[in-house]
Every structure is written in C-alpha cells, then in structure tokens.
Amino acid sequence: MRTTALLISLLPVFCQWSHAESANLKNWVEVKESATANELRGSGKTFLKEIQFSVPSPATTLEELLKINPSLKTVLPGLPALFESAEVSPRYKQLYDTKIKYMKGGVFPTTHNYFDCETVLQLTDPKSGRKVFWLQGDMDVVTDGSDPGRAANLSDYDLARTSNSFLPFTKYGWSKSGSTPQNPFVDYYPEVIKELEKVRETLIEKAAEDKGLIWREMLATCEAQLKYAKGRGNGTTFQQWTNDRRYVVATTDPFVVLPNSWLSGSSSWTPKAGNYAAVVYEGKIYPAILGDSGPESKVGEASLKIARSLNPNASGRVRAINDVSVSYLVFPGTRAPAAEPDLAVWREEVIKLLGEMGGVSSESVVHTW
C-alpha cells in the first residue's frame, strides 16, 4: 500500500482506542523523562509524545480499480475513455483530513473504518461531456427514512429501527399532501417521553432508597434516553420535518449516502440529494439515487434495499460488503422527480446516463427493482 506518514502531537485527551488497534501497533517507544510526574503534570504536557498515521494514496487509474472490481470493464465498456480525464476529487483529501481531525480529538476508528475509501474521482466523458462523481469503497447499511403514504404504521419500521442510528427522515424528500396519513413518528416520541418520565419518577424513588450504584446508573440511563427523546419529540424542526414531508424508505427504496458536507457547494461537481446514481458490484449495476447524507468521517453507505441485493444477510447491524470493491457512481446535475419513487423510471434514467459515458454491455446487467 502506498502511504504517507503524518506526524502529529496528540491533544491531552482520553483516546477511545480499541484493543485490536493497539495490538496491531508494532513500534511502542518509551521515553524516559528526567522530570517527575508532578512536574510533567504541572507543565500541562500529555503522556503521549507522537503518533504516526498512514494516509493512503487514492487510486487514480482504471487498472487499479479493476484489481478490486474486475467486472467494471465488462459491464461498462466505455470506461477506458472515461478514465482518460480522471482527477482525484478534493473530497478525498477532505475525508482523510476529517478522520485525522477526529483522531486528534481522541476518537479513533477501527482499521476497517479508517481504510474505507479507495478513491474519489471526477470523470468527464470526452464525447458527451457527462460528469461522473466516482466513489470506490465498502458498503455499510443505512435504514433511515419514512413515508406515511406507503408505510403509515410504526410496525412498518421495525426492521429499520433495529439500527441504533435510525432516523425517520432523509435528505431527499417531497411535500406531503393533505390526503397522506400522519407520519407515525409525529406522535411516537411525545408518547415515549411520557412513559420515560413515569419510569424516571420510579427510579428516583429507588435511587433515594438504595444508595448503591445500580439504581443511580439506571436513573442516569433513563435520563439520557429522556433527553434523546425530547430532542426529537419536542423539537420544532423534527416535528415539522416528519409532519410536512415524505421521504425515501431504506427498506424499499434504492439510494446511496455521502458525507453531509459533500452535498454543499455550487461547483458543477457537487453531488446533490436526488442525483441519479449507480452502484456497480460483481457484474451487476444497481440503479439508485443519492438519497441521504451521513457522517463526515466515513463513506460507503447504501440503503438496506441495495445492501440486501448485494448481501442477503445485510442489516442495520451487519455490513453488506467488507472490502472496498463497491463502485458508486453519482451523476451531478441530474435529479429524480420530487415525488413517490418510480423505480422503473429511475432504472430508465440511469441507463440513459450510463449511455452518456460509453453505455452498458447489455441492459440485462442493470438490475430491475
């Protein structure tokens, strides 16, 4: 692997570093200080002197990508011409700058999540001028989204809510009409708040009777969940978003996710919510849209609908694809209609866009939802 060593002085914070990551370190250096613990503490210095991070170089050629996704050239025969214009997107550097920024703050990812991106490229077809924003990465699973027009009951989201990070809205959505049922999450959080407040009163009494740790911890957990629920159920923005709009649903709609800040900006290369997209994996092309935005320090995320097409065992807690063999193509400047998804139309539009970058070997390689 081509890497660049980056030296930094770590801030004096507690590092959330897993045992597995520590076990993989090969070079531990102990520096014997002449100063005492009291003197070092008083000087405000951290006990960690220096850390080296490996920053991977981005893949820039089709040949490099064919090593990890060999079917690319077969299903997309126009790629050799397209890759003549390949430029590394500034988003690649931004991604690793963000990862390092978080580590400087004491939050360390696993090796898997750190090396989740092979490249981010900007490609332009020499004949049509079609722009393609290309991300090469793994695939984590997103379960977000809700649409009372198609799924009006809370139980409709039981599978999605097994994910600890589930949210009932996405970046891509459309206005709700008067005939659409109410979103089940409008009332859900206020009701949960009432139940938690009752539980909290009981736990306060228990903690007052028993001075030990157990009831104090139970009360602290309850208060943390109560704060979480109030931030949603009592939040004006949350209520407005769930009450006034409908969204793509990860269990039924194929969409991909990019870091939130990547969707901001006026550049012609800036991806936007609603852009058509395609996921290429093991000889198949999965038509989709850019449906949501996510964390700044990770890439390679797709809705459960796509994830289970690639790996039937994928879920809100089980990653779909572990290696960086998934190709995500986003088409800047395009947009799916702001309306209930018509997956047949999405497929037709993606096939047209692929035609503007050399076409597909056969329309049969484009998945039909």
Whose CA is closest to 1, among 50, 64, 84?
Answer: 64
Same domain? 197 vs 261: no
Q: What range defines the domain where residue 221 resides?
A: 173-247
* DSSP class of 366: B
Indicate whether 105 belongs to any domain. yes
pLDDT at position 251, please? 97
Q: Are residues 354 and 272 in contact, defined by beta-carbon separation less than 8 angstroms?
A: no
pLDDT at position 79, please? 98
Indicate whether 10 belongs to any domain. yes
Indicate whether 153 belongs to any domain. no
**In the chain, which residue ranges form alpha helices assigned H by DSSP?**
19-24, 37-43, 62-66, 72-75, 79-82, 90-104, 111-114, 185-209, 213-233, 236-244, 304-310, 343-355
Q: How far is CA 323 from CA 114, 250, 255, 319, in A?
A: 12, 22, 20, 10
pLDDT tens digit sequence for 27-81: 778 888 888 889 888 887 777 777 788 899 999 999 999 999 999 999 999 999 9
Same domain? 227 vs 312: no
Same domain? 138 vs 252: yes
pLDDT at position 22, please? 63
Same domain? 230 vs 257: no
pLDDT at position 29, please? 81
pLDDT at position 315, please? 94
Count of domains observed in the chain: 3
Buried-state track 247-278, b at ≥16 Cβ within 10 A, e below 16: bbbbbbbbbbbbbeebbeeeeebebbbbbbbb
Same domain? 253 vs 361: yes
Cα 348 from Cα 287, distance rounded (Å): 9
Indicate whether 166 belongs to any domain. no
Per-residue confidence of the chain (369 residues) as pLDDT tens digits? 444 444 444 443 444 555 556 666 667 788 888 888 898 888 877 777 777 888 999 999 999 999 999 999 999 999 999 999 999 999 999 999 999 999 888 888 888 899 999 999 999 999 999 999 999 999 999 999 999 999 999 999 999 999 999 999 999 999 998 899 999 999 999 999 999 999 999 999 999 999 899 999 999 999 999 998 888 877 788 888 999 999 999 999 999 999 999 999 999 999 999 999 999 999 999 999 999 999 999 999 999 999 999 999 999 999 999 999 999 999 999 999 999 999 999 999 999 999 999 999 999 999 999
Same domain? 294 vs 355: yes
Same domain? 37 vs 64: no
Indicate whether 165 belongs to any domain. no
pLDDT at position 12, please? 39
Residue that finishes a domain, picked among 201, 224, 247: 247
Same domain? 232 vs 323: no
Same domain? 25 vs 95: no
pTM: 0.91
Q: Are residues 296 and 259 in contact, defined by beta-carbon separation less than 8 angstroms?
A: yes
Indicate whether 162 belongs to any domain. no
Whose CA is closest to 346, among 279, 267, 282?
Answer: 279
Same domain? 110 vs 67: yes
Residue that finishes a domain, picked among 247, 265, 291: 247
Cα 355 from Cα 279, distance rounded (Å): 15
pLDDT tens digit sequence for 241-289: 999 999 999 999 999 999 999 999 999 999 999 999 999 999 999 999 9
Indicate whether 168 belongs to any domain. no
Maximum Cα–Cα distance across the chain: 77
pLDDT at position 6, please? 45
Same domain? 190 vs 291: no
Same domain? 186 vs 228: yes
Indicate whether 167 belongs to any domain. no
pLDDT at position 25, please? 67
Q: Are residues 335 and 173 in contact, defined by beta-carbon separation less than 8 angstroms?
A: no
Both tokens assigned to 76: 């997309």
Residue that finishes a domain, picked among 247, 273, 301: 247
pLDDT at position 18, please? 57
Instruction: Look at the alpha carbons of 139, 140, 146, 150 in this order and tell me if their dihedral is positive or negative.
Output: positive
pLDDT at position 203, please? 96
